[in-house]
Structure 1
Amino acid sequence: MSVLLARKVTLSFGPRTVLSAVDLDVSPGDRVGLSAPNGVGKSTLLRVLAGELPPEEGTVTLRPGAVLAHLTQETDPRPGESLGPLDLTIGGGERWPITGPNGSGKSTLIGALLGRIPLLAGERSVGASVVVGEVDQLRHTFDTEDSALAVVMAATGLHAEPARTLLAKFRLGADAVPRPARELSPGERTRAGLAVLQARGTTCLVLDEPTNHLELPAIEQLEQALADYPGTLILITHDRRLAQAVRVDHVLDVTAESGRPRLAPAPDLDK
């Protein structure tokens, strides 16, 4: 079954025909690159495929949730920082680590993708059926004297027994569930956060350096949980082992020198 199907897509701007009878069939797992000189219509085609721009003729059929995010010619306006321009489309189920030295703009890029940071130029869109979850934000939810079970019940709407079952699935045992949530270790908080996001139907996980302050057993449990996650994953990490464990599809390298994110093949992580 195709995740994206375009048939006879045609679009003109005034007298200039930019797209003429374009046919495209993208299957699950396909990786499609657009290569052409500047100004011929690559970004226009992406906008049409993402549903931002209607074609004059032809049809575009997109499976619900297939496109997670589309970011075009992004530039971030933070003082002293320059990031972009960048054209980026992230598909459903894909796994993207964002790499680069500290201060290069990795978290800024995440903020731009999720709409927290305004763009100087370009456009951004997120699929209507996409549910984004950020583990870092949920970790703070557990900074309370309420029990871990009570926090998860409040965050998910589950009753006690289904909430216990959910936590057990993420290797939070009977000893952790009744304890005050603030007493959970960093690894336990991370796994509890992942449990909450799963219960909410999250289709895209965003993690910013999730292995910081985790001991090796907690990192191994996190690796397993992420490897089993079926949705889209956007990951900022310096931990090459984690990136390898989750079987990434693409690498987006953000370098402080250029401010221009660079797409690199996933095998770069093995070097």
Structure 2
Amino acid sequence: MKNELEFGTDGIRGPVSEKGISPEFALKLGIATGATLKSRRETVDVVIGRDTRSSGDMLASAFSSGLNQAGANVFNVGIMPSPAVAFLTKSIGANVGVVVSASHNMFRDNGFKFFSGSGKKIPELVEKKIQNNLKLNYVINPCKLGAQKKIQDADGRYIEFCKSCFPRNLSLRDKKIVLDAANGAASFCAGKILSELGAEVIEIGNKPNGININDSVGTLFPQKLIEQFFVFRQILESPWMVMGIDSSWLIIWEEFTMVMSCCTLSPN
């Protein structure tokens, strides 16, 4: 049977447990990642972000410690959407970006997604080297430890980047948007981005508490988003959009909403 803690199509993911995704495993993975990167260059910088799962801080701290033990520097940006970590990794010229997240899975799972310095998925060859280095018995050298560093205004930099990507010939002014952030990392920035672009935003799934990520909200549960769309559309007759967010952004414009509603909500 395949080891649950091997790299898959989207990093390493599994249940948070003693034999699954644990602080001990996160520490080993951090050491293995740092050792792999340090074998290719003298200085290694890694950006680490996480989603809103209750286990995220614990795992990110352990993973960061492992990287430091192997001599890699860590920029811990806290709760950030995966695309934000990819953007910041490329923006500051870091070697790798890592997100402690299990995407659309429930809070009991967690995992690690890896981005290259270009903001794209790391090559499979690098994944295999990290996997092999998990077996290392690494000896700590106090003269060669990595450091903890900061990115000034990481949230603000990502928000401004997102706004700059919006087509200048389009406007969200006088538009009303129902936004579902799945109680995930985007809860803290998506509404702000849309509001600053001029939209009136009605938010659901934007009150994360550590255990409610993807709980009856998000891309696997579009019903609530669609229901809210039709409720507010009946109250206020004006152009509306719906928007659902998970690890990537999905915008569903008004003309496609009925199609999605029928396909998703109908038992047939």
TM-score by length of 2: 0.25
Higher helix share: 2
Higher strand share: 1
TM-score by length of 1: 0.24
